[in-house]
Amino acid sequence: MTKFTISDLEKLRVSAAANLTLRESSNTLTSGICCSLSTGTPKMQILVCGGTGCKASASHTIADNLKSAIERENAGDRVEVITTGCFGFCEKGPVVKIIPDNTFYVHVKPEDADEIVKKHIIGGERVSRLLYTDPKDGHAVSDSKHIDFYRKQVRIALRNCGFIDPENIDEYIARDGYRALAEALSGKRSRQDVIDEIKKSGLRGRGGGGFPTGLKWELTAKEKSDIKYVVCNADEGDPGAFMDRSIMEGDPNSIIEAMTICGYAIGASKGLVYIRAEYPLAIHRLRVAISQAENYGLLGKDILGSGFDFDIEIRYGAGAFVCGEETALIHSMEGKRGEPTLKPPFPAQSGYKGKPTNVNNVETLANVPVILQRGAEWFASIGTEKSKGTKVFALAGKINNVGLIEVPMGTTLREVIYEIGGGIKNGKKFKAVQTGGPSGGCLTEKHLDTPIDFDNLVAAGSMMGSGGMIVMDEDDCMVSVARFYLDFTVEESCGKCVPCRIGNKRLLEILNKITEGKGTMDDLKMLETLGRTIKDTALCGLGQTSPNPVLSTLENFYDEYVAHVKKKECPAKQCKALLTYAINPVKCMGCNLCAKHCPAEAIVGTTRKPHVIIQEKCIRCGMCLSRCKFNAIVVC
């Protein structure tokens, strides 16, 4: 173990910075958030995305193959391979980036490694077939700074993701890592100074609640106790959301530094990271970061010779969505059932083990070191009047550019979907976007010019949430979408309060009736009445927001509900119980493929002659549609 002083940390920063010189000079993704680097002649670098999505597509094998190819070419003294966190452009992964020319390769496969090394690294010629192709003009784009996906992004929380090796603390330190902590512990900032700076920045909680972060710290700091706790909420469980996980995978030291700063500010000596056990890569990288920070004396006793002590432990959750609520999370860490409790008392007064506890989510904490480095005024200059800074979103669904993005608050939905996201897949028509996960609402075309911030999304009938953003097209049934999200919250409810336990179950039963063609107009009235009652009476945020998908789709797609009830039709042709399958005799070749695979034996006919579906026997499974090679199946 090396016991660092503040001067030791600065010396390491200077020496480690040389290895990042080339990356800094070609960096386009961090809005100028960088440090002054020393000059030198560092190696050429190949950055390989090591986020979960790219690893699932064998990026680790790509990295290994690149290293082997470099060894075969005896080029190890001139080039190195570095595994980073998520680049964000998940639609085009696995991604490989060459530094210093900033060449951006997409959809890379393990077998491409030899060609990249021989042609690009040794021969100095780009591999054109791996370059990103601009969908507007079909031209290859070699440099990521010219890719529309990145143009409007401003990376603060994601500043180091896709840029540094998350398992090398030296690279984090070279990027001004632990400088904010060192300044605080050196006496340049008092505890109250740190809190005041976070308050002035306007940073609000990014976990969904939007509570002012500095105020939460101040409330905890004012409590008198022999021990206090700092808790990082890493229990990200929204369907389609991967913001916090990617930050932990790509920049774990930023969370450790922020938690330690928070501990100093509020007078806590113990930190706890509550993370679901199904995030093995994030857990691994957190463990590595904690171990390295301890070895450098940046965690533990007498940090940087300041006399301040702070330790961090990792606690595992079993994947319960309700444990994203801070009181349920605390109970889970205590070994109790993950159920919320009424507030007050708030965790700042009585939290983990009855002691004052500050709870912030991953993205909130990731902003803290940068705010203290660059100043509250800088951060507050980004975003809108009441929503400062940037927000990370997991952009998913029927969108061309699926990925992880970070944009200034106030960016419109239209900019996100059509400029960063590249529009709707396959030229389909935009129908809705779900923001805020299961707790949010579905917004329509009339909302596309809505600036994204805490207040505007609530006014439109949705919410920011933790940052999930799922785009839907004309083929999506909004009744089924509402049913999907409600089914999720019913499954994830802790069952403690009656409105959530029973009320949401009744809502789901009504939606099931409607999608099965058994609904009535009275059911539509009941959906709204019951939904608003649940919002007003449920115990915690899960129950209070669970009716949002139902209420928002009722308001924005009422005609679609009416079609299901009155006409017994699903306009999007997604509700199986309301579909009728028939065979077009002109297109049917009589191949028998549909009949062979029909589980109900509802298709009859002779070979090479048109077949017929017996409607009384058809179970509407859609197997015939998926098996037919001649587009002869008609869905009515």
At residue 142, the pLDDT reads 83
Q: Which residue, 443, 291, 475, 464, is CA-closest to 383?
A: 464
Q: Is the peptide bond before 345 cis (omega within 30 degrees of 0)?
A: yes
Share of the chain above pLDDT 90, in %: 81
In three-state secondary structure terms, 545 is: helix
At residue 241, the pLDDT reads 86
pLDDT of 139-182, one tens digit each?
898 888 889 999 999 999 999 999 999 999 999 999 999 999 99
Positions of CATH 1.20.1440.230 in the chain: 478-567
| Residue 2: CB atoms within 10 Å | 9
DSSP state of 226: S
Residue, of 536 and 5, whose pLDDT is higher:
536
**Is residue 88 within 8 Å of 404, Cβ to Cβ?**
yes
Structural element, H or E, at residue 79: strand 79-84
pLDDT > 90? residue 31: no
At residue 557, the pLDDT reads 95
| The pair of three-digit structure tokens given for residue 406, joined into one six-digit string | 């970070």
Positions of CATH 3.40.50.11540 in the chain: 169-380
pLDDT of 395-444, one tens digit each?
999 999 999 999 999 999 999 999 999 999 999 999 999 998 888 899 99
> DSSP string of 325-355?
SHHHHHHHHTTS------SSSPTTTS-GGGS
Lowest mean pLDDT among 218-227, 233-242, 351-360: 233-242
The mean predicted confidence, pLDDT, of the chain is 92
Q: Is the peptide bond before 94 cis (omega within 30 degrees of 0)?
A: yes
pLDDT > 70? residue 483: yes
Q: In sequence order, what are the beta bridge partners of 471?
A: 397, 433
Second-level CATH architecture of 34-149: 3-Layer(aba) Sandwich (3.40)
Positions of CATH 3.30.70.20 in the chain: 580-635
At residue 32, the pLDDT reads 39
**What CATH superfamily is the domain 169-380?**
NADH-ubiquinone oxidoreductase 51kDa subunit (3.40.50.11540)
At residue 260, the pLDDT reads 98
pLDDT > 90? residue 461: no
Burial (CB count within 10 angstroms: exposed 0-12, middle 13-18, buried 19+), residue 356:
buried
| The pair of three-digit structure tokens given for residue 149, joined into one six-digit string | 């996906």
- Which regions of 398-553 does DSSP assign to beta strands (E)? 403-408, 430-435, 441-443, 468-473
CA 443, CA 445: separation in Å to the nearest integer?
7
pLDDT > 50? residue 30: no
For domain 390-473, say whether CATH 3.40.50.1820 is its number: no
At residue 25, the pLDDT reads 62
**Is residue 313 within 8 Å of 192, Cβ to Cβ?**
no
**Is residue 285 within 8 Å of 326, Cβ to Cβ?**
no
Positions of CATH 3.10.20.600 in the chain: 390-473
At residue 145, the pLDDT reads 82
CATH code for the domain defined by 580-635: 3.30.70.20
Residue given tokens 């003009």 in the structure block: 137
> Stretch 561-582: mean pLDDT, rounded?
92
In this structure, the chain runs to a length of: 636
pTM score of the predicted model: 0.92
Q: Spell out the CATH class of 478-567.
A: mainly alpha
DSSP state of 421: S
Structural element, H or E, at residue 396: strand 390-397
pLDDT > 50? residue 323: yes
